[in-house]
Amino acid sequence: MSESLTVLVIGDEADVAAIVAEFDASANQLLDVEVVADADAARDRARRGTQVGGIVLAPTRHDVDEVLENLAGEPALESIRTVLVTDRRSHDDVTRAIDADRLDAVVATGWRPGELAAHVTSQVTRWLRAQRSDHPVLLELDAIDRYHRAFEAPSSELLRDLELDDHAIAERLSAAIDRALGRRPRLQLAAGTRLTHQNTPVNGVFVIRSGSVALDRTTSLGEIRLHHGSTGPVVGLLSLAQQRRAFFTARSTTQVEVLHLDLEQLDRALRAEPEVGAAMAAASVRALARRLRRAEQLQLEKRQLNLELEAERQRLAAALQALETARLELVEQARYATLGELAAGVAHELNNPVAALSRATSYVGEDIARLLEGHPQGELASSALETARTRPALRAAEERAARRELGAALGDAAVARRLVSAGITEVAQARRLGADHEESLAVVESAASLGTALRNLEVGSQRISELVASLRAYARPDLQPIDGVDVNELLDDTLRLVAHRLQGSEVVRRFGELPPVRARPGPLDQVWTNLLVNAAESLDGAGRIEVVTDAPDPGHVRVRIIDDGPGIDPELLPRLFEPRFTTKNGQVRYGLGLGLSIAKRTVESHGGRIELDSQPGRTCATVVLPVGGPADGDDLDEEEART
């Protein structure tokens, strides 16, 4: 031969003598045999170019696992066949070798002549078929048919039949039955014919010579097809193991040709012809193997489907949560849309009456001034009216001090009280009333009362006008950003509108010089509303709120709303901007239901950011907005603008 393979025999000289003699006696010249002392020597032989086709471990006192693990470290010996020849009755040193698929066969000493050499040669030639199909040894093997039979093809009927396909097994089985019983009639059956019936007795078997048969089972879910390609060429044989009742309904799916044997004929054929039993066993084993593989495949598919269903369930749960969040936000949007429409309507309805009230107040003041021009004490009355109309209200301490001073100067505490109430607080003014001060005092009191009424009318109408203007600003949709927005003015508008929610809290404004910004005023007003109401509710009617504005750099403005409330739990801070998140402890509430998540979205739509920092005694909400505002064309729809 131009090229040969070597079988390395590992062991002591005394142990390997019988093995070497066995190979020498076989004289098949397919394999060279070389003895090495240990695994290291075997690795050395492989490194020096010896083509090793197999390893034989002679009876040895060494640990088999250790020897094979040492061999596995050499690439040339990684996948070759290994045979353990042993004179020991038991081995507990092969666990790792079996687990790593490093041991292919175990042969006990005392073999018949030629048996060991044939066994090793068969292992090596099958390995060559799989690994090196062009090796010269295989070429010689194919040229010498006797070696093929001796070293590769199984000679037992069962193993030989297992290598056949279903059609070949059916042909072999049919021939064996014909030999045992005489030629059996071939039955031609149409598609849809039931060969066995679920849960009914089975009195024989069918050999499927051609065509296809499926196995169906009726369940509470209806009829389910469980096997088709894995049915096999013999139908009914396995049912005999189920108390002779069919577990499936066997139904032909195409036209089929079958042999039918009842139990008596089957028994006679099995006794008369061994090939019948071997072929039936091979057919059953192959069918069972396919069904097991199918069952395992179904199990894997079931597992995969369960994983996909779980993933889909999680996606659906997330989608439902998102839908619920969207629904609640839509409810909020509807509420704010309604609130905006209501505010716009109220502002419109109040505008004309407020304008009329302002004009009437101005006219009344002018008419009274003209009437007083012809009054004998008109100058005194006009002075008292104007003083009462324009003077700031005295604090209680200032009023008491003025009464004491006038009472001491005039010697009459009652007159002093009346004068101070009429707005006269200086001694010189009081003395100018003259000796007949009672008549003059009555004129002054009446004029001062009219002046106070006019002042109240003017202040009230101005307050209503400011509220109307704030309502208009709050209600406008601002679908597009506008330039020149004064953030301080927006905060003033919001503070006026939520003043009733801030009662009991001390509100301190510390407004810095801010550049005008590009923004949507309406949505920003709602952000300020949310933050101010949150701060007020955390104070629970008593505390201090600071509203601070500044420009940290030329491109941004900053608004900070600070309260001295109890603070927010640090564990809750990261979740405060989640949609619909709330707490029940009274520390974090969302005012009208706007929610910090929508406030955050509004600020971010302006290109800004919103942050919350909290500790006991101090919570600060910070909003930073770019002066440039939203980009051109970055518009909100009407509903979002109102949320």
Q: What is the pLDDT of residues 63-106, one digit of tens each?
A: 889 988 888 878 888 778 888 988 888 888 999 988 888 888 88
- 637: amino acid identity, one letter: D
pTM: 0.45
**Dihedral sign, CA of 495, 497, 498, 503?**
positive
Segment among 345-349, 437-441, 633-637 with least mean pLDDT: 633-637
Q: What is the 3-state secondary structure (H, E, C) of 434-473?
A: CCCHHHHHHHHHHHHHHHHHHHHHHHHHHHHHHHHHHHHH
d(CA 285, CA 224): 24
d(CA 445, CA 613): 55
pLDDT(589) > 70 = no
User: In the structure encoding, which two tokens stand for residue 228, read together?
Assistant: 């088709």
pLDDT(583) > 60 = no
| Cα maximum dimension of the chain | 161
Contact predicate 262/203, CB 8 Å: yes
pLDDT(443) > 90 = no
- The band of 143, judged by pLDDT with boundaries at 50, 70 and 90, is low
Comparing CA positions, the residue from 42, 122, 24 lying closest to residue 81 is 122
- The band of 433, judged by pLDDT with boundaries at 50, 70 and 90, is low
What is the model's pLDDT at position 549? 95
d(CA 389, CA 61): 122
Q: Which residue has the higher pLDDT, 461 or 304?
A: 304
d(CA 532, CA 547): 9
Helix axes 437-475, 521-539, angle to 10 degrees: 120
pLDDT, the chain, mean: 80
CATH architecture of the domain with range 479-641: 2-Layer Sandwich (3.30)
- The band of 134, judged by pLDDT with boundaries at 50, 70 and 90, is low
Q: Which residue has the higher pLDDT, 464 or 6?
A: 6
Mean pLDDT of 331-360: 72
Q: Which residue has the higher pLDDT, 2 or 137?
A: 137
pLDDT(341) > 70 = no
Mean pLDDT of 477-489: 81
Neighbours of 284 (CB within 10 A): 16
Mean pLDDT of 479-496: 85
User: In the structure encoding, which two tokens stand for residue 615, read together?
Assistant: 């500790």
How far, rounded to the nearest angstrom, does the alpha carbon of residue 570 sit from its chain's CA centroid?
A: 25
Most confident option among 137-146, 216-225, 241-250, 504-513: 504-513
Give ∠ CA 351-357-359 in degrees, rounded to 5.
100
What is the model's pLDDT at position 133? 65
Q: Which residue has the higher pLDDT, 597 or 140?
A: 597
CA distances from 306 to 4, 310, 317, 449, 607 (A): 54, 6, 16, 86, 44
Q: In 526-594, which ranges are E strands?
A: 543-553, 556-563
Q: What is the pLDDT of residues 620-639, one digit of tens each?
A: 999 999 999 886 555 444 44
User: In the structure encoding, which two tokens stand for residue 41, read together?
Assistant: 């020597």
pLDDT(320) > 70 = yes
Name which CATH class applies to 5-153: alpha beta
- 462: amino acid identity, one letter: Q
What is the model's pLDDT at position 450? 82
Mean pLDDT of 26-43: 79
pLDDT(410) > 80 = no
Mean pLDDT of 579-605: 60
Contact predicate 260/204, CB 8 Å: yes
d(CA 473, CA 214): 78
Most confident option among 332-336, 393-397, 418-422: 418-422
What is the model's pLDDT at position 631? 66
pLDDT(145) > 60 = no
What is the model's pLDDT at position 154? 59
Q: Half-sphere exposure of 65 toward its Cβ, with a 13 Å CA cutoff?
A: 10
The CATH classification of domain 160-293, taken from the options 2.60.120.10, 2.60.40.10, 3.65.10.10, 3.30.230.10: 2.60.120.10
Segment among 16-30, 85-99, 510-524 with least mean pLDDT: 16-30
Neighbours of 174 (CB within 10 A): 21
- Helix-strand-coil split of the chain, %, nearest 5: 55, 20, 30
Contact predicate 67/10, CB 8 Å: yes
d(CA 204, CA 184): 14
Q: Enter the DSSP assignment of 80.
A: -
d(CA 374, CA 367): 12
Where do the structural domains in the chain lie, given as residue ranges? 5-153, 160-293, 374-468, 479-641
What is the model's pLDDT at position 585? 43
- The band of 178, judged by pLDDT with boundaries at 50, 70 and 90, is very high
d(CA 375, CA 368): 11
Q: Which residues pair with 556 in a beta bridge?
A: 553, 626
- 542: amino acid identity, one letter: A
- 441: amino acid identity, one letter: L
pLDDT(247) > 80 = yes
- The band of 550, judged by pLDDT with boundaries at 50, 70 and 90, is very high
What is the model's pLDDT at position 257? 94
What is the model's pLDDT at position 584? 42
d(CA 71, CA 77): 6
Q: Which residue has the higher pLDDT, 145 or 374?
A: 374
